[in-house]
Amino acid sequence: ARADIGLIGLGTMGSALALNIAEKGFTVAVWNRTTEKTHAFVEEAGDLAANVIATDTLEDLAAALKGPRAIILMVPAGQPVDDQIEALDPYLGPDDMVIDAGNANFRDTMRRMEVLERPFLGIGVSGGEDGARHGPAIMGGGDPDLWARVAPILTAIAASFEGTPCANLMGENGAGHFVKAVHNGIEYADMQLIAEVYGLMRDGLAMEAPQVGEVFEGWNNGRLSSFLIETSAKVALAHDTATDGPLLDVIVDAAGQKGTGRWTAIEAQHLGTPIPVIEAAVAARNMSAQRGLRADLAATFGGVDRIDIPIDILEAALTCGKILCYAQGFDMLRAAARAFDWSLKPEVIARNWRAGCIIRSAMLDDMAEAFEAAPDTTLMAAPYFSDILSETIGALRQTVIAATSAGLPVPAMAAALAYFDTMRQARGTANMIQGQRDYFGLHGFVRMDTGDKDQHGPWADD
Ligand code: NDP
């Protein structure tokens, strides 16, 4: 046996990870359900094939590995993971470790750790195929001793930010997959905010896709500098040879999703933590899928107006919305740490997201610094970010007003603004809710003047 680590599932992510591991000088033994793919993988691995051991059976895979074994699963989340663990089991010893690196639901990871009688780690891997090949961000969850066993390989293959690897243990049991889900929730929101700004430029300012691309390119040199802005610039600038026009104009406006954003929204509801920007982004993808209905309703209710708004106001509005969305994501992580008894550290998470992952951005470095100074504060209250919010909130408001006046949808930006306005309102309106609840359900309320609890209105006597 000479392989340092095993890997099952030579799909998009698994093959890229295996090549990455091989390139870093480790020997990786691979197995895939469809054996031809394993052989094709080795043939295409070129020089790196020297560090790859192809195996046709799970027995051979186990035999190829140094003990105690560590095997990464990179198969679709859900039942395939359980099936694969079961199929492997006869060939493994009690100390051999299985690492689920797919996009598992963290509740599945927690269940597996409970029921499996073997070492198990759940790691979130972000960065898509390119990240997996050249350096992803890795969010680990589980026992620190188990993490330590594979940390040399995981940190070697991960992206690094100024020399610091973006592979860290986030916390206990399901924490890694949870942090990955929230990462994806933030990713949904970040993408949606950018799409909304694109929509305002396209429909409100009558700009062509390449012009939008140039704007995004410019923004990528400033505070908004990020992988997603860079990506959006490239998408908007891309040319379609078939139509000799912008590629963006021939892409169908219905967004796909694999579920991680939805999980984040569902978990936020379970935790009772507000993430309205992420929820709006998930809802926006669902609305985008209803193309037929949208076409019918467009015919019934008519079109939209142009807007008049400077591009730098849109840039500031996007900056503001982005900070509010990240504030919600990090607040949700804090709520989860309390609920699941995880030792999540926001500064470690922010640092881990600075490179390799889809939401990597210049701002995450500032977020890491803000949380280092004050791990328990919301970003909205961290001095650096509260200054930017004060400076940009007017632009977000101006943008939402312009968009809504023209009938242009900006659900995520509007959610960000409503969140800000709600959270900076010392006296809210839930006294009315409590009055209503007491009227029809005698749920009781707390008096503002005396602090007395379980109070009722005069209707209680009727
Ligand atoms: P692919 O569809 O490219 O590959 C899936 C792999 O899993 C194939 O090797 C396939 O084998 C194998 N497989 C499928 N079903 C089973 C099964 N029932 N039992 C055993 N093996 C099976 O998927 P990806 O590489 O894109 O995704 C893998 C995981 O990584 C998923 O959890 C995904 O959510 C996650 N992920 C994906 C990202 C991406 O950008 N694509 C980013 C981050 C995470 P076969 O060749 O036999 O079909």
CATH architecture, domain defined by 430-461: Up-down Bundle (1.20)
Among 106, 258, 257, 264, residue whose Cα is nearest residue 185: 264
Residue boundaries of the structural domains of the chain:
5-173, 180-423, 430-461
Annotated binding site for substrate, which residues? Answer: 103, 126-128, 183-184, 188, 258, 285, 437, 443
- Reported ipTM: the value is 0.98
pLDDT digits (tens, 9 = 90+) for 80-91: 999 999 999 999
pLDDT of res. 257: 86
pLDDT reading at 258 higher than 90: no
Task: Give tens-digit pLDDT for 264-304.
Answer: 999 999 999 999 999 999 999 999 999 999 999 999 998 88
pLDDT at 1 over 80: no
Cβ of residue 125 lying under 6 Å from some atom of ligand 1:
yes
pLDDT value at 165 more than 80: yes
Closest CA to 259 of 353, 183, 175, 184: 184
* Residue 101, pLDDT above cutoff 90: yes
Task: Kindly give the distance from the C-alpha atom of residue 45 to the centroid of ligand 1, in angstroms, as a whole number.
Answer: 19
Q: Is the CB of 78 under 6 A from ligand 1?
A: no
For a mutational test of ligand 1's pocket, the pick from 37, 74, 85, i.e. the residue with the most ligand atoms closer than 8 A to its C-beta, is 74
Tell me: pLDDT of 360 over 90: yes
Residues carrying an active site annotation: 180, 187
Has residue 428 got a pLDDT over 90?
yes
- Ligand 1 neighbourhood includes 37 CB (under 6 angstroms): yes
Which atom of ligand 1 is nearest the CA belonging to 16? 25
Interatomic CA distance for residues 223 and 32, integer angstroms: 43
Q: What is the pTM of this model?
A: 0.96
Taking every pair of Cα atoms in the chain, the longest distance, rounded to a whole number of angstroms, is 85
From the CB of 368, is ligand 1 less than 6 Å away?
Answer: no
What the block records as the tokens of 250 is: 């021939």
Quote the ligand 1 centre to 355 CA distance (angstroms).
23
Give the residue among 92, 121, 81 at the shortest CA–CA distance from 1. Answer: 92
| Domain 5-173: which CATH number of 3.40.50.720, 3.50.50.60, 3.40.190.10, 3.10.20.30 | 3.40.50.720
Binding site for NADP(+): what residues are annotated? 9-14, 32-34, 75-77, 103
For ligand 1, the distance from its centroid to the CA atom of residue 12, given in whole angstroms, is 7
- Does the C-beta of 312 come closer than 6 Å to ligand 1? no
Average pLDDT over residues 424-437: 98
| Binding site residue list | 9-14, 32-34, 75-77, 103, 126-128, 183-184, 188, 258, 285, 437, 443
CATH number of 180-423: 1.10.1040.10
pLDDT (tens digit per residue) in 176-218: 999 999 999 999 999 999 999 999 999 999 999 999 999 999 9
